Amino acid sequence: MNKFSKISEERLKTCHSDLQRLFNEVVKHYDCTVICGHRGKDEQDEAVRTGNSKLKWPDSKHNQLLSLAIDVVPYPVDWADKARFMHFAGFVLGIAKSMGIKIRWGGDWSQDLNFKNDKFVDYPHFELTD
**According to the model, what pLDDT value does residue 14 have?**
98
In a domain, 26, yes or no: yes
In a domain, 1, yes or no: no
In a domain, 65, yes or no: yes
Q: How many domains does the chain have?
A: 1
**According to the model, what pLDDT value does residue 31 have?**
98
In a domain, 25, yes or no: yes
Q: Can you give the residue range of the structural domain that contains 68?
A: 6-128
In a domain, 109, yes or no: yes
CA–CA distance, 50 with 28 (Å, rounded to integer): 32
In a domain, 69, yes or no: yes
In a domain, 33, yes or no: yes
Residue 12 reports pLDDT greater than 90: yes
Report the residue count for the chain. 130
**According to the model, what pLDDT value does residue 70 have?**
98
**According to the model, what pLDDT value does residue 82 have?**
96
Residue 5 reports pLDDT greater than 90: yes
For 39-69, the pLDDT digits (tens) are 999 999 999 999 999 999 999 999 999 999 9
Residue 21 reports pLDDT greater than 90: yes
Q: Can you state the percent helix, strand and coil of the chain, rounding each to 5?
A: 40, 15, 45
Average pLDDT, the chain: 97
CA–CA distance, 98 with 130 (Å, rounded to integer): 17
- CATH code of 76's domain: 3.30.1380.10
Residue 130 reports pLDDT greater than 90: no
Strands (E), the chain: 32-36, 69-74, 103-105, 125-128
For 93-125, the pLDDT digits (tens) are 999 999 999 999 999 999 999 988 989 999 999
Q: Is 30 exposed, middle or buried (0-12, 13-18, 19+ CB in 10 A)?
A: middle
